[in-house]
Structure 1
Amino acid sequence: MRSHTYRLCSLLFAPAMFAPAMFALAMFALLPLRPAAAGQPPPRSVSAGALIEAARAALSGGAPRDAAVLLEGVEPGAADPDTLDFLHGQIALARQDWRTAQRRFRAMLARDPGLTRVRLDLALAHYRAGEFERAERHFRLALSAPGLPGDVRANALSMLHLIGREKAEGWTFGVALALAPDSNINNATDAQKLGLFTLSQDARRTSGVGLVADMHAGYTAAVRPGLQFRVNGGLRTRSYRESRFNERIAGLNAGPRFLFGRSVLHPEVHVRQRWIGGDVYSRSAGLRVSGSRTLSPVWRLRWSLGRAWTDYEGYLGRGHTDTAGFGIAHALGGVTVLRANAGWRRETLDKDYWSWREFSLGLSAESELPRGFVAGAGLRVDRRDYGAPRPLFGPQARRDTTYALWTTLSNRNIDIGGFTPQLTLRHERRDSNITLHDYRRNVIELGVVRSF
């Protein structure tokens, strides 16, 4: 099945086959490369154009090794870099050197992110390397480009169908490390007094520089056609000089994954534990079902429903949290992905004044820029209403509105031992009808990320 898919992709994405006459003409252009006989004038140098045409003919004639040798004769700066990168990328594809092909095609997209044909070739290189998430992303971006020929569109859609059935089989890993100066590591107010009470230093805003680490791993096994089983685990830590502000969150989830044409259904069980300052803050376990549906080549829908039972080790007690989420993504113009998300959560605890319900709305965009840069930005608004007034805080139940703004910048062309640098700027603000819960926070995260 896989070999048949590769042959199909090669026929549709590889350059058109040159006629034998073209190949012969290109070889004739190289005849001056042979040593001159005694007494004859030295041969004239072969132009870069002739070498490139000969390499194209050799590649289309099924001789990628000869094409590579011919391109070695092109002097640096003598030819358009896009032409050379494209030919080297095609040669790498023919020789099943997926990493070289990816590097060459990424170099072209760094100069011009709008090269749809090159993005399709990069998607193919990721697919053949088994990197289905990256392949899917580039196929969807290419499908959003205007003026895509019908046969190419049909082939890209067939590749997306194959990716949906093969995606993420085997192991996946991800690591992110960042240094994070933070103006408010405890999400606390700047106020010094609350009514007649003076707040202690621990209850007020504290700044610091943290080290953030985010690691996750997963394994997906194919049970039978249309059915997979997936297990994922993750650990996120945030460490500061003052250990009482340290935070760790560990989670594990597992369940089957059903594939129905354009739709995916994924029920799972999950467990989670959170530590603050080295002590266990909460433990939870629950059930969740999530799904996605491809509405069109450029529109994709995601949703989720779940319930988790939580035991807070401190004074909050025990309870459960119900969640529902909805998201939609749209690829635009061949280089940009727009996303919108809405969510609802309700936590029910032993005390009504600790219980709450929350509505969320988020918008974000990510776009590929020249020179390998990828920029993103987003906005999220959360509105949380508590179930009853809390003693000593007045007759009104607590109401919070939290705003979060962020922007990210990374460069896919910079490789530091397999890691890509990333800069994230984030601003948060909570407005509450109880002053104690107001806060402002600015965070800078400068780090590296890697998925493999």
Structure 2
Amino acid sequence: MKLLRVAGWVSVGLALAAGGAHAREPVNSGKAASQKSGVPAGLETAQRAGAESGKLSEIEAREQLLRDADALLKAGKPAEAYTLLEPFEFDRSGEVRFDYLLGIAALDSGKPDKATLAFERVLAVNPNFAGARLDLARAYYQLGDLPRARIEFEYVMKQNPPEAARVTIQKYLDAIAAYEQSQLTRISGYVEGVLGHDGNLNSGTNSPVAIASVSPVFAAMVTAFTGDANPQFHPSQLADNYYGINAGGEISRNLNDSWSVFAGANLRQRGNMSETIYDASSVDGRAGFAYGNEQSVYRLSLNGGQFYTGNSMRRDALGMSGEWQHVFSPAHQINAFVQYGQNRAAGSPPGAPATDARIEGNTDQTVIGAGWVHVMGDGKQALFGSIFAGKESAVAGRPDGKKKFEGVRVGGQAAFADEVDGFASLGWLHGAYSDQNFLFIAKRNEHQYDLTVGANWRLDTLWSVKPQLAFSKKSSNIALYSFERSDVSLTLRRDFR
């Protein structure tokens, strides 16, 4: 045994000696080189030692940052850990341990979007890092991206994780399955109460119109019967305060990951304080199906409704519509649509007002259009625009004949605060009729403009208040059809979902 110990020590001594010999050889070589270069050997040795010491200090500082962040996480201070690590993300992204700690800090401090980026970098370097994949699944879950969360949870489950991890993963998978099951059938609805003032509820003229400027023939007839050399149409504009009650709902059912069916209806009632003959109500419904994938949604629906004015049925409507929506990116979305509808006027007693339904008569209408939405980088502002065109056939022989029309609408929405959004839109519509009206000896040609501004104030997740101002103006070559109209309203809304 003593021999062994001696031999051991001898071996160690030999090793140390050999190490010393090897250690001295570079010094001797360096000394020769330093002599050739003119740098003193002692100074070069000191420089090398300083460089090595600087590298060790840098490594120690980088490791200390990670130790400090890990200690903060263990102490339950993820927000402080994220604040500590985040300034170094640009320089140290790609380091597995740094990115993993940054991801954990982001996830546990309520920044799942930042966490996914960090965990994805970890997995790009080490795809088999099960802990990072599990936490990536958690981040997707917090973001609400349940399909991707489920994929990552299932992947980790296949790697045979420890029992405690399996229990946690299964809880997440069960929660995802329960949510997806609840989303197979969705029901939503709303109720609104409205108070407002309409400055021209019958879209009438706001100043006298000389009959001769509209129809010389008709003016001559009036003059012959009345003896009035300059007969005029008196202003017909009526203003009134009003109240409204609206309600609606929709139910949809997912048939599978791509197909769904839906149905919905709306009820609207508007009563005027004085001009009750212009009270209006309507009921409309829709039913159809939709097909969707990650970027596009296609909808086809059957639409119908009945519209009343002055407590008598004014119009029946029946039609179909199709729409395509496509999301290019979170910031850009477009849509295209086509609509066909039949409008039939009915129930017009002699005392009923001359509403648009009676003036326009029975029509078949076709509309095509497209729209675009752009969401700003912070997600708090959005711009939108749409164009459309169509034609209207006069089924019952409207005096003005067929109508072709086209229009444009632009607008935007901005968040003034977490609970308040403002919105505004501007629209233009041009309509041209095919036949010369025998009474006015002219073909109607009209331009209409409208401006709407308002705000949505969310009192909580289900209650909201909407003040709104709307202004419209129609200019027609037949003065009787020209008007200006303003409407101020306040709406209280309760959503159900």
1:344 is the counterpart of 2:376: no
Q: What's the TM-score once normalised by structure 1's chain length?
A: 0.62
Distance 1:237 1:398, change over 3 A: same
| Inter-partner Cα distance in structure 2 for 1:168 and 1:186 | 45
In the other structure, the counterpart of 1:377 is: 424
Instruction: Name which structure has the greater RCO, CA cutoff 8 Å, separation 6+.
Output: 1
Distance 1:181 1:317, change over 3 A: closer
In the other structure, the counterpart of 2:305 is: 272
| Inter-partner Cα distance in structure 1 for 2:452 and 2:404 | 24
Provide the secondary structure at the position in 2 that maps to 1:22.
Answer: helix
Provide the secondary structure at the position in 2 that maps to 1:351.
Answer: coil
Q: Which ranges in structure 2 are unaligned for 5 or more consecutive residues? A: 1-67, 82-105, 112-138, 147-178, 212-218, 220-230, 349-357
In the other structure, the counterpart of 1:21 is: 71
| Inter-partner Cα distance in structure 2 for 1:221 and 1:290 | 18
Which of residues 297, 300, 303 is equivalent to 2:336? 303
Q: Residues 79 and 108 of structure 2 are in contact (CA less than 8 Å); yes or no, is this contact kept in structure 1?
A: no
Deviation digits for residues 333-384 of structure 1 (CA, Å, limit 9, x no counterpart):
3211100011113211122515312111000000011363211111000101
Amino acid aligned to 1:374: D
Provide the secondary structure at the position in 2 that maps to 1:21.
Answer: helix
1:437 is the counterpart of 2:477: no
Amino acid aligned to 2:276: S
| Inter-partner Cα distance in structure 2 for 1:192 and 1:325 | 38
| Inter-partner Cα distance in structure 1 for 2:268 and 2:184 | 22
Which of residues 233, 240, 244 is equivalent to 2:265? 233
Q: Which ranges in structure 1 are unaligned for 5 or more consecutive residues? A: 1-17, 27-52, 58-85, 92-120, 129-162
Distance 1:397 1:126, change over 3 A: farther
Q: Residues 165 and 259 of structure 1 are in contact (CA less than 8 Å); yes or no, is this contact kept in structure 2?
A: no
Q: Which moved more, 1:304-313 or 1:331-340?
A: 304-313
Equivalent residue runs for 1:6-405 within 5 Å: 21-22=71-72, 25=75, 53=77, 169-195=185-211, 196=219, 197-199=231-233, 204-241=236-273, 242-313=275-346, 314=348, 316-334=360-378, 335-349=380-394, 350-352=396-398, 353-370=400-417, 372-394=419-441, 396-405=442-451
1:424 is the counterpart of 2:458: no
Amino acid aligned to 1:435: A
Q: Which moved more, 1:379-388 or 1:236-245?
A: 236-245
- C-alpha RMSD of matched pairs (Å): 3.4
1:409 is the counterpart of 2:452: no
In the other structure, the counterpart of 2:89 is: none
Q: Which moved more, 1:346-355 or 1:327-336?
A: 346-355
Distance 1:423 1:89, change over 3 A: farther
Q: Residues 184 and 254 of structure 2 are in contact (CA less than 8 Å); yes or no, is this contact kept in structure 1?
A: no
| Inter-partner Cα distance in structure 2 for 1:363 and 1:356 | 24
Provide the secondary structure at the position in 2 that maps to 1:392.
Answer: coil
Amino acid aligned to 2:478: I
| Inter-partner Cα distance in structure 2 for 1:346 and 1:165 | 44
| Inter-partner Cα distance in structure 1 for 2:376 and 2:462 | 29
| Inter-partner Cα distance in structure 1 for 2:330 and 2:373 | 11
| Inter-partner Cα distance in structure 2 for 1:169 and 1:199 | 57
Count of residues in correspondence between the two structures? 313
Provide the secondary structure at the position in 1 that maps to 2:480.
Answer: helix
Amino acid aligned to 2:435: A
What's the % identity of the aligned pairs? 16
Deviation digits for residues 307-357 of structure 1 (CA, Å, limit 9, x no counterpart):
112211155543311111211100013211100011113211122515312
Q: What's the TM-score once normalised by structure 2's chain length?
A: 0.57
